[in-house]
Chain A
Amino acid sequence: MRIDFRLFGYRTFAVREEDALAFLEECQRVGFVPKNPKRCEKTGEIRFAASLFERRKIRLLKVAVREVGTGGLPILFRRLIGRPGLIFGIAAALFLLIFSHLFLWDIRVSGCESITEGEIEEALAEAGVYRGAFLPRTEMDGAILSVREKDERIGYLSINRRGTVAFVQLREAKIETSREEVRPANLIATADGIVTLPMIYAGECLVREGDAVRAGQILAAGVTQSEKAGGNLTRAAGQVLAKTTHTYRVFVPFSYEAKTPEGRAKTVREIKFFNKTIKLYKNPPEKDEKCDIIEETRYFTFAGVKLPIAVHSIKKAPYTSVMRQRGEREAWQIAVKESETLLGAEKSAYAILEKSVAREVSAEGVTLTTTIVAEENIAAVAEIETK
Chain B
Amino acid sequence: MPKKRDFLARIGAKLDIPREALPGGFGLFMSGQNEIIVRGYRKILRYGREEIELSLGKTRLNIEGEDLFCTLLTAESVTICGNIRRLTFCAGEEYAH
Contacts and interface: CB of A to CB of B under 8 A. Distances in A.
B96 interface: no
A71 B40 CA distance: 34
B67 to A, nearest CB: 8
Contacts of B73: 24, 27-28, 33-34, 37
Contacts of A304: none
A13 B75 CA distance: 20
A47 to B, nearest CB: 11
A24 B69 contact: no
A24 B54 CA distance: 12
Interface stretch (B19-27, B42-50, B57-65): B42-50
B47 A21 contact: yes
A35 to B, nearest CB: 9
B71 interface: yes
B93 to A, nearest CB: 16
Interface in A1-60: 20-21, 24-25, 27-28, 31, 33-34, 37, 39
Contact of A21 (B44, B69, B74): B44
Interface of A: 20-21, 24-25, 27-28, 31, 33-34, 37, 39
27 contacts: A20-B47, A20-B70, A21-B44, A21-B46, A21-B47, A24-B44, A24-B47, A24-B70, A24-B73, A25-B43, A25-B44, A27-B73, A28-B43, A28-B44, A28-B73, A28-B75, A31-B75, A33-B72, A33-B73, A33-B74, A34-B73, A37-B69, A37-B70, A37-B71, A37-B72, A37-B73, A39-B69
Contacts of A24: 44, 47, 70, 73
A376 to B, nearest CB: 102
Contacts of B69: 37, 39
Interface of B: 43-44, 46-47, 69-75
B49 to A, nearest CB: 8
Nearest to A34: B73
Label chain A's interface by main secondary structure. Answer: helix
Nearest to B69: A39
Most buried by A among B71, B73, B75: B73
Contacts of A39: 69
Nearest to A27: B73
Residue of B43, B70, B74, B75 with most chain A CB atoms under a 10 A cut-off: B70
A27 B74 CA distance: 8
B95 to A, nearest CB: 11
B61 to A, nearest CB: 15
A380 B17 CA distance: 123
A24 B72 CA distance: 10
B47 to A, nearest CB: 4
Contacts of B46: 21
B21 to A, nearest CB: 20
Contacts of A25: 43-44
Contacts of B71: 37
A74 B73 CA distance: 27
B89 to A, nearest CB: 20
A28 B41 CA distance: 11
A25 B44 CA distance: 7
A155 B72 CA distance: 81
Nearest to B47: A21
A64 B21 CA distance: 35
A33 B75 CA distance: 8
Contacts of B43: 25, 28
Nearest to B45: A21
Contacts of A20: 47, 70
A25 B55 CA distance: 12
A65 to B, nearest CB: 15
A39 B46 CA distance: 17
Contacts of A34: 73
B35 to A, nearest CB: 14
